[in-house]
């Protein structure tokens, strides 16, 4: 991503995501026999520390041409997805997410297989429907060619003016 690219909207994440992470990981640990001793440490404070720091590291912005997402503590994931590659943003509310009054936005990209590890999931975005609509609206602007940054637009106008001048010369020669 170009660091000079304008940020159109920055996603805000709901504070309840911390509790969701705490409960979700605890549930996964309790399902496995090996995870039960770790679950005790998770409840005693490790989970609160992890979920708080995980929440602080969540970052998602919509720029003029990309959707950028960053998360993680030990293993940081930083993804930049060009808007023209986004096929859809799926809005998902499962029973656990609904209990916490949260939603998940799953970004589907071109050429992505269903089980690839290349998916981007945003859990707990405040006003997820509005964020989704803005991303899809910006994607349509990019795909239809309606959106251009200032420098790119001036280059295109200059090129169109040259083409128009060339066409006028051709028309004069034909006459």
Q: What share of the chain is helix, strand, coil (3-state, %, to 5)?
A: 50, 25, 25
At 64, list the tokens.
């003029």
pLDDT tens-digit series, residues 107-145? 888 765 555 545 788 899 998 889 999 999 998 888 877
pLDDT tens-digit series, residues 15-68? 999 999 999 999 999 998 888 889 999 999 999 999 999 999 999 999 989 999
pTM for the structure as a whole: 0.71
Neighbours of 97 (CB within 10 A): 17
pLDDT tens-digit series, residues 58-108? 999 999 899 999 998 888 989 898 988 888 888 888 888 888 889 899 988
d(CA 116, CA 95) in angstroms, rounded, equals: 24
């Amino acid at each position: 991503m170009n660091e000079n690219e304008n940020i159109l909207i920055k996603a805000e994440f709901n504070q309840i995501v911390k509790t969701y992470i705490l409960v979700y990981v605890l549930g996964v640990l309790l399902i496995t026999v090996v995870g039960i001793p770790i679950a005790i440490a998770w409840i005693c404070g490790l989970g609160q520390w992890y979920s708080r720091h995980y929440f602080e590291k969540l970052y998602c912005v919509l720029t003029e041409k990309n959707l950028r997402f960053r998360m993680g503590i030990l293993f940081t994931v930083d993804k930049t997805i060009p808007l023209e590659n986004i096929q859809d943003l799926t809005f998902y509310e499962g029973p656990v997410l609904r209990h916490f009054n949260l939603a998940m936005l799953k970004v589907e990209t071109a050429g992505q297989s269903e089980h690839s590890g290349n998916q981007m999931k945003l859990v707990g975005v405040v006003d997820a429907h509005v964020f989704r609509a803005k991303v899809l609206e910006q994607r349509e602007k990019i795909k239809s060619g309606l959106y251009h940054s200032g420098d790119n637009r001036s280059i295109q106008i200059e090129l169109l003016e040259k083409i128009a001048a060339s066409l006028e010369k051709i028309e004069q020669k034909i006459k």
